[in-house]
């Protein structure tokens, strides 16, 4: 009997690997297939960006590259006298920095800013090399070269010394360690794909333990600690002595609860002031103070309004409202308490504006603002970000979840790692008109994401980053079309020379509203729309296992 079963098992495993590789191939082809659009007028106040008429509904994603092309020169054939139109040339190269439903915003990477009406073509005419040190991707290279003829494939390089020529500027498809990384060298990361070993997701089981890969400890499936009635779009967790404080916010209300000694108790529930719509809530405890504040980022229908509310026992009082800032709180001294509050002005064109401000409270209880004490990169975003020294070089890196990707930037604002797509939760989002005074205005769409968390590994193992990944990874669709109601846990570690990224195989049956760490333990607040309890949220915890 066993002899009959074994071949079937082997065949199933082979088919799963083949399907996974096929899905990855299809996703790559989808993400790099040709798209054609035109440059459209942008807001008069934004002269630094270029707008095109293609967006997420046409499959455009952040990181995509578009060539600006001319009509092509018409010549006469010397023998037949027939007119011929030569292939057009690229006058500029655009990189997408924000993708909305029906348009995208780009910056000029090379060439002169294009004019309204000029044609743009995705990845058209870009030189490309396929680098394959382990000589495992010849079949994939052949398939991509056949399916993506608008890319100029200059060659395939294999072996230990495989690389693109020195000084090369263009696309580099690097296939190594069962992953295909695509970059436009020298400094524009595009995407990363897992080629081998990808498996379709499965429902979580309490005893499931995920091996996170080289250098990362296994992560067991989280244990349920408590249930909340509120189904939040934005939340924050803070360890306050022996208790865990939970701020769970819907669009119009915030509920504060305390979890202690295996029991949860609601402290206070209140509506968002001024009848605004909540976008984000963060805990803030000013340095040297025992007072706790809730830093709210809200939308008043036309613009962003920041608010500071003080928690005193079971009472919440308005400390400051009408702040023209988005508010984010950060733990820079590593004591598990966010003591640094940074505000970022709303910019209608780019959403995240400049300059940044750092807030503090004076001895006479007045709110003060100053230039941030920490030098922050120009691309920094106060929401969905973490400031920490992940690489161990003694300097803070900015780690943010934005545009469905995890992006790590150094203090010089250079991208040193960009994850593959489908990162984030999409729990909180905002759509608004770029030019509300016009009869027909482009609409911008922004996702407000929870921040990643840095977790200490067991027994002095490396610290590693935990972030939410969209659970809909079993179909080869672009992240911009993802509307999954489940999340997975993604992880990132730096081993001294490179970043290693992994994803657990199980799914969390809901979307992550907030995370926090406590002495190596990870706390998760899951907005559990599909919970079998019918309740709004679940408080979960897990502790990494020793390798």
445 phi and psi, to 5 degrees? -130, 130
Gap between the terminal Cα atoms of the chain: 36
**Position 1 in a domain:** no
pLDDT above 60 (res 359)? yes
Chain segment 50-66, per-residue pLDDT in tens: 999 998 888 898 889 99
Chain segment 413-429, per-residue pLDDT in tens: 888 988 866 888 888 98
**Position 318 in a domain:** yes
pLDDT of residue 26: 84
pLDDT above 70 (res 280)? yes
Residue 290 CA to residue 109 CA, distance in Å, equals 48
My answer on whether 328 and 182 are in the same domain is no
pLDDT above 70 (res 7)? no
Q: What angle do CA 305, 427, 529 make, to 5 degrees?
A: 135
Give the CATH number, domain containing residue 52: 2.40.10.170
My answer on whether 181 and 107 are in the same domain is no
Provide the domain count of the chain.
3
What is the percentage of the chain residues whose pLDDT exceeds 70?
85
Question: Using 50, 70 and 90 to split pLDDT, how confident is the model at 2?
Answer: very low
Higher pLDDT pick, 59 / 209: 59
Higher pLDDT pick, 537 / 82: 537
Sheet holding 397-402, edge to edge: 385-388, 397-402, 405-409, 415-418
pTM listed for this prediction: 0.64
My answer on whether 414 and 538 are in the same domain is yes
pLDDT of residue 207: 34
Task: Point out the domain boundary residue: 161, 179, 198.
Answer: 198
Residues 438-476 as b/e (b if ≥16 CB within 10 A, e otherwise) read eeeebebbbbbbbbbbbbebeeebbbbbbbbbbbbbbeb
pLDDT of residue 14: 35
My answer on whether 387 and 512 are in the same domain is yes
pLDDT of residue 25: 83
pLDDT above 90 (res 67)? yes
Q: At a CB cut-off of 8 Å and minimum separation 6, what does 399 contact? A: 385, 386, 387, 388, 390, 406, 407, 408, 409, 452, 465
Assigned token pair, 45 = 């106040």
Question: Using 50, 70 and 90 to split pLDDT, how confident is the model at 1?
Answer: very low
Residue range(s) defining the domain that contains residue 186: 17-31+125-198
My answer on whether 115 and 144 are in the same domain is no
My answer on whether 383 and 412 are in the same domain is yes
pLDDT of residue 460: 58
**Position 203 in a domain:** no
My answer on whether 447 and 468 are in the same domain is yes
Mean per-residue pLDDT for 164-193?
A: 86
Chain segment 388-415, per-residue pLDDT in tens: 998 888 889 999 988 788 999 988 888 8
Answer yes or no: are the C-beta atoms of 472 and 80 closer than 8 Å.
no
**Position 172 in a domain:** yes
Chain segment 8-52, per-residue pLDDT in tens: 333 333 344 444 456 678 889 999 999 999 999 887 656 678 999
Question: Using 50, 70 and 90 to split pLDDT, how confident is the model at 282?
Answer: very high
My answer on whether 257 and 131 are in the same domain is no
CA quadruple 258, 264, 270, 271: dihedral sign: positive
Q: In terms of DSSP bridges, do strands 263-271 and 315-323 run parallel, antiparallel, or are they unpaired?
A: unpaired
Give the CATH number, domain containing residue 506: 2.120.10.30
Residue 245 CA to residue 163 CA, distance in Å, equals 51
**Weakest mean pLDDT among 123-127, 128-132, 399-403:** 399-403
Assigned token pair, 61 = 């994603």
Question: Using 50, 70 and 90 to split pLDDT, how confident is the model at 211?
Answer: very low
**Position 9 in a domain:** no
**Weakest mean pLDDT among 138-152, 233-247, 394-408, 410-424:** 410-424
Chain segment 467-517, per-residue pLDDT in tens: 998 865 433 333 333 345 778 888 888 888 888 888 887 788 889 999 999
**Position 157 in a domain:** yes
**Position 10 in a domain:** no
Task: Point out the domain boundary residue: 198, 224, 255.
Answer: 198
**Position 443 in a domain:** yes
Task: Point out the domain boundary residue: 198, 222, 237.
Answer: 198
My answer on whether 230 and 166 are in the same domain is no
Q: At a CB cut-off of 8 Å and minimum separation 6, what does 334 contact? A: none
My answer on whether 320 and 229 are in the same domain is yes
196 phi and psi, to 5 degrees? -110, 150
Chain segment 74-103, per-residue pLDDT in tens: 777 787 878 776 667 788 999 988 888 889
Distance of CA 13 to the CA centre of its chain: 31
My answer on whether 328 and 418 are in the same domain is yes
My answer on whether 105 and 246 are in the same domain is no
């Amino acid at each position: 009997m066993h002899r009959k079963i074994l071949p079937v098992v082997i065949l199933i495993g082979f088919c799963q690997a083949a399907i996974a590789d096929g899905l990855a191939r299809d996703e790559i082809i989808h993400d790099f297939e040709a798209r054609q659009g035109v440059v459209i007028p942008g807001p008069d106040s934004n002269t630094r960006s270029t707008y095109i008429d293609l967006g997420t509904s046409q499959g455009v994603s952040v990181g995509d590259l578009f060539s600006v092309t001319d009509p092509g020169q018409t010549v006469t054939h010397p023998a037949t006298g027939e007119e011929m139109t030569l292939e057009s040339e690229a006058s500029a190269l655009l990189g997408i920095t924000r993708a909305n439903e029906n348009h995208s915003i780009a910056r000029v990477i090379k060439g002169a800013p294009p004019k309204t009406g000029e044609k743009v073509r995705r990845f058209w005419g870009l030189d490309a090399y396929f680098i394959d040190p382990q000589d495992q991707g010849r079949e994939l290279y052949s398939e991509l070269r056949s399916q993506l003829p608008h890319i100029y494939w200059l060659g395939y390089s294999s072996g230990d010394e495989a690389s693109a020529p020195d000084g090369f500027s263009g696309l580099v498809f690097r296939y190594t360690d069962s992953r295909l990384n695509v970059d436009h060298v020298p400094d524009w990361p595009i995407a990363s794909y897992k080629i081998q070993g990808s498996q379709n997701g499965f429902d979580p089981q309490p005893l499931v333990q995920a091996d996170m890969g080289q250098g990362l400890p296994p992560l067991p499936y989280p244990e349920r600690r408590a249930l909340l009635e509120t189904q939040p779009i934005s939340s924050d967790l803070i360890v306050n002595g022996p208790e865990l404080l939970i701020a769970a916010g819907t669009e119009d209300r915030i509920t504060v609860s305390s979890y202690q000694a295996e029991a949860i108790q609601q402290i206070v529930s209140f509506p968002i002031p001024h009848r605004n719509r909540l976008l984000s809530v963060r805990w803030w405890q000013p340095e040297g103070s025992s007072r706790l504040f809730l830093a709210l980022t809200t939308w008043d229908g036309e613009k962003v309004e920041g608010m500071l509310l003080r928690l005193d026992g079971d009472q919440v009082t308005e400390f400051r409202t009408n702040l023209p800032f988005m508010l984010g709180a950060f733990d820079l001294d590593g004591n598990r308490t966010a003591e640094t509050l940074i505000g970022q002005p709303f910019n209608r064109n780019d959403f995240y504006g400049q300059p940044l401000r750092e807030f503090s409270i004076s001895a006479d209880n007045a709110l003060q603002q100053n230039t941030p004490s920490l030098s922050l990169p120009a691309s920094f975003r106060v929401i969905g970000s973490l400031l920490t020294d992940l690489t161990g070089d003694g300097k803070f890196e900015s780690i943010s979840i934005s545009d469905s990707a995890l992006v790590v930037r150094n203090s010089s604002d250079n991208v040193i790692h960009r994850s593959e797509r489908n990162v984030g939760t999409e729990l909180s989002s905002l759509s608004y008109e770029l030019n509300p005074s016009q009869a027909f205005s482009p609409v911008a769409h922004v996702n407000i994401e929870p921040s990643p968390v840095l977790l200490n590994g067991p027994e002095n193992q490396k610290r590693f980053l935990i972030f939410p990944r969209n659970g809909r990874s079993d179909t080869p669709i672009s992240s911009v079309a993802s509307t999954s109601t489940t999340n997975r846990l993604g992880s990132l570690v730096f081993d001294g020379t490179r970043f290693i990224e992994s994803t657990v195989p199980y799914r969390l049956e809901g979307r992550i509203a907030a995370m926090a760490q406590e002495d190596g333990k990870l706390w998760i607040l899951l907005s559990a729309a599909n919970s079998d309890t019918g309740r709004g949220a679940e408080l979960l915890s897990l502790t990494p296992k020793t390798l």
